[in-house]
Amino acid sequence: MLGKKRSHPSTSMMKTGIIDSKSQLLEQRSNQVMTLLQQQTDLIANADGLPTIRLDTDADLSVYNTPLLKKFSVDVNLIWSLAIALYEDTVKIWFRELVSPGLSSQLDVVQRQHASDPFACAFTYLSFGQRDLASEESKKNKDFQLAMYISHSEFKNVKDLVQEHINTLTAQGQWQAMSLFHKRCWYTVAGQLGYSDTDKFIVTERVSWQCTLGMYLWYGNRADETPSLARYNSAFDESVADIHHLKTTKYTASPDSSCLWYQLLQWWIGDASTAQIDTWPLDLVWLLNIYKPSSSIDSSYLLKWVEQLERMDQAELAIYAALFLPDAQQRVNNILRQCEWTDENKLLNVYHIPSKNVYLAKALHAHDEWDFVEEYKILLEGGLYEQAKMNLLCFVLPVYFKSDDASIEKCLSYTKAYPQGHDELIQHIQKTLTYLLNNDKNAETSQLLIEKLKQVPSKYRVRHTEELFKNLIEAILY
């Protein structure tokens, strides 16, 4: 069945090339996302309802990072690439690559401003997550133990050992002789990134907020821990009544909370309340609900994706997407009822939408168009006999019965279309209509037909049917 398209306000407006281009790009992306999603999901047919939809065990979020995505903004590409890194548990690598373009210029600045401190470059490497370079720089400056701990810190839990070594160096009097950046290197590997009361400085002071965040990811957690921003977020907790903590808060670079990738990172491994999900790419929000099902994304955001597909005249994809909604049945039925889909075979045999739902939706669409006869035919075709009966009694016959032979014959044809033997009431109406066309009437038969019409069950006695039965009785009598 070919469905008709709803008119959209935008079709009557003069649009610029920029708007057209953006809309076209969004439509291409939406179609691409749904195509890829269908390749990574299975639909399991259910005899009595909508299919069960399941994500493949080897589903891969990275497939959505396509060349088409590069046509979107830098912010969109960054949040998408981070989502993939978080899904694949490679967020530390992602962060190192994020900040790496600024390393060269930062090294130039540090070498000019701190030329007298031989460990300034080692600390800079650490602040950019470059452990190998920091380790080599430490070797150049003859601190082989620091170099060793830096190298091992990525895969082994050395924080406690490093802190013990710092205590030993302090007890031996060697710590006091170390340079500022030398100490900052040791504290970093120990995971101590805030204020040091012993040395009166903040380890991450004057480090950019992106690199500071990276340092808490790289060094703030144990090597065997799941990456978390708990310690990073605690650094900004102004409710802690401690002078040292307050100094950490004051001198730690504050993040840009409007940054999309920062919001996603917090949502995933930190403080979810930071996220302004309505500013994120809608396709990503939709897929996070599927690929990270433990997440708490409000269903209103999920519905927006389905609605976007509908606005783009991608009704069949909207139906597929609606299968993931908490209340899938209601939304799927609503989309079906619009009849903007074009491939009924796909709905029935690929999407495994029950035929009852499809026929009922088509019938309701005809009803919305006030085409009651078409509604009746569809309900009969779909085997929905009870609904067809109600349609016949409440709409078709009341509309077309006018007591003249032509209307009686038309109504008789509608009753004959109903499967014979399926319903006693319709058979009686059919008998009554046949009697009205017969010139050989008698009082006894008329009385029997009238009595039967008066005995119609109450559930069929609504305003339109009452009027129909009244008109039938009057026709018999006169």
- Identify whether residues 108 and 229 lie together within a single domain: yes
- Identify whether residues 158 and 250 lie together within a single domain: yes
Cβ–Cβ < 8 Å for 127, 211: yes
- Identify whether residues 150 and 181 lie together within a single domain: yes
- Identify whether residues 256 and 289 lie together within a single domain: no
Cβ–Cβ < 8 Å for 359, 1: no
Model pLDDT, residue 6? 40
Question: Where does a domain end: 311, 329, 355?
Answer: 355
Whether 360 is covered by a domain: the verdict is no
- Identify whether residues 106 and 21 lie together within a single domain: no
Number of folded domains in the chain?
3
- Identify whether residues 429 and 465 lie together within a single domain: yes
Whether 361 is covered by a domain: the verdict is no
Whether 182 is covered by a domain: the verdict is yes
- Identify whether residues 381 and 408 lie together within a single domain: yes
Model pLDDT, residue 19? 52
Whether 239 is covered by a domain: the verdict is yes
Whether 311 is covered by a domain: the verdict is yes
Whether 233 is covered by a domain: the verdict is yes
Query: What distances in angstroms separate CA 268 from CA 61, 83, 159, 288, 292, one per listed residue?
Result: 15, 9, 25, 10, 10
Which residues span the domain enclosing 288?
A: 9-72+281-355
User: Each residue of 203-237: b (16+ CB within 10 Å) or e?
Assistant: bbbebeebbbbbbbbbbbbeeeeebebeebeebee
Whether 3 is covered by a domain: the verdict is no
Q: Please tell me the pTM assigned to this model.
A: 0.83
- Identify whether residues 235 and 132 lie together within a single domain: yes
Question: Where does a domain end: 298, 321, 355?
Answer: 355
Model pLDDT, residue 299? 84
- Identify whether residues 142 and 175 lie together within a single domain: yes
Whether 56 is covered by a domain: the verdict is yes
Contacts (Cβ under 8 Å, ≥6 apart) of 90: none
Q: Write out residues in the chain with pLDDT < 50, as ranges.
A: 1-18
Q: 362-421: per-residue pLDDT in tens?
A: 999 999 999 999 999 999 999 999 999 999 999 999 999 988 999 999 999 999 999 987
Model pLDDT, residue 122? 98
Q: 190-217: per-residue pLDDT in tens?
A: 999 999 999 999 999 999 999 999 999 9
- Identify whether residues 114 and 256 lie together within a single domain: yes
Model pLDDT, residue 239? 80
Model pLDDT, residue 9? 38
Contacts (Cβ under 8 Å, ≥6 apart) of 121: 107, 110, 111, 137
Question: What is the SS3 assignment for the chain?
Answer: CCCCCCCCHHHHCCCCHHHHHHHHHHHHHHHHHHHHHHHCEEEEEECCEEEEEEECCCCCHHHHCCHHHHHCCHHHHHHHHHHHHHHCCCHHHHHHHHHHHHHHHHHHHHHHHCCCCCCHHHHHHHHCCCHHHHHHHHHHCCCHHHHHHHHHCCCCCCHHHHHHHHHHHHHCCCHHHCCHHHHHHHHHHCCCCCEECCCCEECCCCCCHHHHHHHHHHHCCCCCCCCCCHHHHHCCCCCCCCHHHHHHHHHCCCCCCCCHHHHHHHHHHCCHHHCCHHHCCHHHHHHHHHHCCCCCCCHHHHHHHHHHHHHCCCHHHHHHHHCCCCCHHHHHHHHHHHCCCCCHHHHHHCCCCCHHHHHHHHHHHHHHCCCHHHHHHHHHHCCCHHHHHHHHHHHHHHHHCCCCHHHHHHHHHHHHHCCCCCCHHHHHHHHHHHHHHCCCCCHHHHHHHHHHHHCCCHHHCCHHHHHHHHHHHHHHHC
Question: Where does a domain end: 355, 378, 399?
Answer: 355
- Identify whether residues 247 and 391 lie together within a single domain: no
- Identify whether residues 324 and 437 lie together within a single domain: no
